[in-house]
Amino acid sequence: MKFFIDTADISAIRELYASGLCDGVTTNPSLIKKSGRDFKEVIAEICEIVDGPVSAEVIATETEVMLAEGRALAKIADNVVIKLPLTMDGLKACKIFSEEGVATNVTLCFSANQALLAAKVGASYISPFIGRLDDIHVDGLELIQEIRQIYDNYGFETEILAASIRSPLHVKECALAGADVMTAPPAVIAGLSNHPLTDKGLAAFLADAKAAGITV
């Protein structure tokens, strides 16, 4: 499973990318707002750091304006992925971008039927928001499983990009469900290495090494 970082924090992206735990980046207007910087400048800087896909979201809600914004974003760097909302206008734009060879990420997916539509119009990625479904007491992981089965049934090439990841448990369950990609905040990715038994075992080894005078 590929790991994307869901952030516009340049320092966090640099750190995780250097560690080998970053295959791409997803952004959205809310994350860019937190950075307090110009939208296109942030996307350009991220693309200089990361070789993998970098999702940049259009602001428009009408197809023709989405196309204009998407084409402007695609000029920033070759690895920009145009992020589109899962609306009929967004799907129309996705179809045109697919025909033009422009990578797309259809976002705000909350049902298997929506994911089916995105695959039909050639989306590169579909982003089901599992955490937001959990918030309204709907099983977000079940959605990942449903999309995986539908895509496998028909050989769709759209990659399942599990989004709205809130915890290491979400990451594990998405991997078990067959998501192609997961995107999560830096803290969630860093937290995947944590386990109390690892900490306890390391502390014991270090104590024994010190008591035995072991050096390397």
Catalytic positions: 83
Contact of 6 with 183, CB cutoff 8 Å: yes
Contact of 128 with 140, CB cutoff 8 Å: yes
Contact of 27 with 54, CB cutoff 8 Å: yes
Q: How far is CA 34 from the centre of its chain?
A: 18
The Cα–Cα gap between 180 and 174 comes to 9
The Cα–Cα gap between 166 and 187 comes to 10
Residue type, 80: V
